[in-house]
Structure 1
Amino acid sequence: MAARLCARHLLSTWLYRRAAQSQGRHYRAALCSELKRPLVIEEVASRPVGPQEVRVDVHFCGINFADILVCRGQYQEKPPLPFTPGMEFSGTVLETGKDVSTVNKGDRVIGVCPKLNAMAEECVIDQKTLWRIPESVSLQDAAVLPVSYGTAILALEHRAGTQPGETVLVTAASGATGLAVIDVATNVLRAKVIAAAGSDEKCKLAMERGAQFSVNYSQGSLKEAVKKLVGSGGVNVAIDMVGGDVFLESLSSLAWEGRIVVLGFAGGKIASLPTNLLLLKNISAVGLFWGRYQQQDFALFSKSMSSALQYCQQGLIHPHVGAVFKLDKVNEAFLHVIQRRSTGKVLLSLK
């Protein structure tokens, strides 16, 4: 008798839970269920917000090469399967936890996900990694800001200490971060920019977005082309995202006490640093892993976000969107980036 009562109780509890689940909120998300395989779009059950958390209705999510690497198992972060990629987004606040004081329901925000999860119609995130969007800035433009402009600002201002009137060489100049570097260097810091890219079309875009000069490094020596533009003195700052021979030629293009900032290795090769060049011209070579600042120096990280929003509100910078894909076309969006067809930021639209 006791056993039957217990079984009946368990059955009723299970039915109650199933009913509760079926009545809960659900949203669509891109899931990586197997590394190096296409993402799938599935319905995911919403979870409650914690005291310090915020539920955001995602409008746009940025696609970064790091998202592709993490879905291949080739990134520094290796989340357990299955997971939803996506590091940055813009959207509106749906719900706030009881201890949230920084944003309110209905606020437009940008967010940075320390553990990914942004390629979804809904995102639950800690309040401290959200920043309110000024009224004059669109949700689409705002979605471009976190990774690309956060990186550009920290690279130029914090790591390189770029000064007005200095000359900045930027490689992979037509990509999202490259264009952000051109935008910030030219329009905020009042520096001169030499944009280096791998095709005439990409060089043309970089010039249209504010670079004073451009170099197609697929057609010859980057070092010699830069020398023709600025003379033997060289450039003051180089921001490199390509690596390999392009990094080495950028390093050789630096002036006395020049600074080079390493942002990535889009070319696939990591160069060995010839330290004799550092000594002979008193050159500084530094790296920038933007996401690491979120853990190591959050105040500086947050300042870069606030600066990007302020520059955008003031009309100093103008984010460039290269392509927008719907959520169910996420694999096509990844392919667009992998095949290097993208210029500017590639976004997912969740609406």
Structure 2
Amino acid sequence: MTSSVGRRILIKLCRSSLSPRIIATRFSSIAVEEDAKNVIPASQPGKIQAALLKDFSSSLVIENLEPPKNVQANEVLIDVHYCALNTSDALLSKNLYTFEPKLPTILGYEVVGKLVEIGTEAEKNGYKIGDQVVALNKEKYGGLAEKCLAEIGDIWKVPSVIDSIDAVSILDNYITALIALERKVSIDENDMILINVGISGISLAAIDLATNVYRAKVIGVCATEDGADLARKKGAFASLKYKDKKLLKQIKEIAAERDIQVIFDDVDGEYFKKVLDCFTDVYKDATLKDLLRDDNFAVVVHHLSREGRVIIAGTATTMTNAHSEVQQGSFSVTGFNLTEYRKKKPDEYRQAGDEVLQFLEEGLITPSCLLIVGLHKVNDALRFVYESKSPGKVVIDIRNKEADAVKVTK
């Protein structure tokens, strides 16, 4: 395990304004101790390299494995180029997620690569060997390997104009944000949306969609100054690091600039404060596990008496399950779980993926990728996901296995 001093240095470097070259060099030096303890075998012909989780809270182990075989009719085999690390990967590695995986297992469910084998149903659906695809493999995982299986319902062709790094960084967060926003509200340019980012990539995606697709006015509330900077880059007209004693005053001042005077007045205003607490309590009482969960994105609609409405979205602490709902007056609070939604409404799930890729192709949205690092340094990357408290993506380069960390500037 990397020393606590090394971990602090790593996090400080990735938050700094140092050049990508300097960060990559120092990231590599921090990984020396880890690499010394986990001897990485040389590649073997006919086998694939993968990062295995063998014991919870222990480092992933690089091993040579037999490639997946017996591709089913509704499956494809992907030659993986990149795999995004998500917060669920970090939680699963410590057995802190919503289910316990059977060990050993290969983490990683957001991948991009080329098809090397296709089932009969995949062929009927127009897929062919050599197609560049992105997969949202939330059922099978397996992305931290040179090859992985995916079902055709979970893959999308990647338009040639889309960069692979953007493709692998976008689907999970943006599909979740898009469906959650669309199923609860019809956003227009007159709406003010307060999005509690915390350290959630989903909430950052919601800012991107609300600002650049729906053209609404967004206030971002973030756990760190780095998160607030990312929110501003997405187009939020105001972005705040959470401060308990100042937040209500700051929101009221921003609302007043848009001629909204009654945001916290009367009974509805008092209830609005309570609902806001459902989101901002994550900064007071929630554990890091709560902050990293990907099934606690929620949407609140508050109708002001005379001057329009305010929408609140983002990470919330009150969601006990995907369909819990509390209503009072003009409010509704609903949690959202993409895995459950996929099972119940697969067509809408796929349509949302198509729309997200179209928005990306048209240049309307831009996913936030922080770091790209080779497969053999996956343990340092995984630790960064768990400890950095940043909503940006970390991507593993499966082909360039020895690659040092490169800080992405966009």
TM bracket (short chain): 0.7 to 0.9
- How far did residue 85 of structure 1 move? 1.0
Q: Is the 8 A contact 2:210 2:218 kept in 1?
A: yes
Q: How many residues align?
A: 319
- How far did residue 28 of structure 1 move? 1.1
Report the AA paired with residue 235 of structure 2.
G
2:372 counterpart (324, 327, 345): 324
Map of 1:92 onto structure 2: 114
Separation in structure 1 between the aligned mates of residue 392 and residue 362 of structure 2, nearest angstrom: 21
Going from structure 1 to structure 2, the CA distance change for 1:317 and 1:247 (only over 3 Å counts) comes to farther
Map of 1:287 onto structure 2: 335
Q: Is the 8 A contact 1:173 1:206 kept in 2?
A: no
Please state whether the residue corresponding to 1:37 is helix, strand or coil.
Answer: coil
Separation in structure 1 between the aligned mates of residue 89 and residue 132 of structure 2, nearest angstrom: 24
Map of 1:127 onto structure 2: 152
Structure 1 segments (4+ residues) deviating >3 Å? 218-221, 234-238, 240-248, 250-265
Please state whether the residue corresponding to 2:121 is helix, strand or coil.
Answer: coil
- 1:190-240 Cα offsets, whole Å, 9 max, x none, are 1111011133343223212211111121464323321121143269998x8
- 1:21-49 Cα offsets, whole Å, 9 max, x none, are xx983211111111121111111111321
TM-score under structure 2 normalisation?
0.70
RMSD: 3.1
- How far did residue 340 of structure 1 move? 2.2
Please state whether the residue corresponding to 1:94 is helix, strand or coil.
Answer: strand
- 1:166-208 Cα offsets, whole Å, 9 max, x none, are 1111122665323211111011111111011133343223212
Please state whether the residue corresponding to 1:43 is helix, strand or coil.
Answer: strand
- 1:305-325 Cα offsets, whole Å, 9 max, x none, are 111101111111112211112
Q: Is the 8 A contact 1:169 1:195 kept in 2?
A: yes
Matched, 1:191 2:239: no
1:314 counterpart (354, 362, 374): 362
Going from structure 1 to structure 2, the CA distance change for 1:252 and 1:293 (only over 3 Å counts) comes to closer
Aligned 1:199-278 pairs, distance under 5 A? 199-218=224-243, 220-231=245-256, 232-233=262-263, 243-244=281-282, 254-256=302-304, 260-261=312-313, 263=315, 278=327
Map of 1:115 onto structure 2: 140
Separation in structure 1 between the aligned mates of residue 91 and residue 134 of structure 2, nearest angstrom: 23
Map of 1:45 onto structure 2: 66
Please state whether the residue corresponding to 2:203 is helix, strand or coil.
Answer: helix
Report the AA paired with residue 212 of structure 1.
F
User: Which one has more relative contact order, counting CA pairs under 8 Å at least 6 apart?
Assistant: 2
Q: Is the 8 A contact 2:299 2:335 kept in 1?
A: no
Q: Is the 8 A contact 1:24 1:45 kept in 2?
A: no
Separation in structure 1 between the aligned mates of residue 346 and residue 356 of structure 2, nearest angstrom: 15
Please state whether the residue corresponding to 1:79 is helix, strand or coil.
Answer: coil
TM-score under structure 1 normalisation?
0.81
Map of 2:349 onto structure 1: 301
Structure with larger Rg: 1
Q: Is the 8 A contact 2:112 2:132 kept in 1?
A: yes
The percentage of aligned residue pairs carrying the same residue is 27
Structure 2 gap segments, 5+ residues each: 1-43, 257-261, 287-297, 321-325, 400-410
Q: Is the 8 A contact 2:89 2:108 kept in 1?
A: yes
Separation in structure 1 between the aligned mates of residue 283 and residue 319 of structure 2, nearest angstrom: 9
Q: Is the 8 A contact 1:263 1:289 kept in 2?
A: no
- How far did residue 246 of structure 1 move? 7.0
Q: Is the 8 A contact 1:56 1:123 kept in 2?
A: yes
Structure 1 gap segments, 5+ residues each: 1-22, 272-276
Q: Is the 8 A contact 2:51 2:106 kept in 1?
A: yes
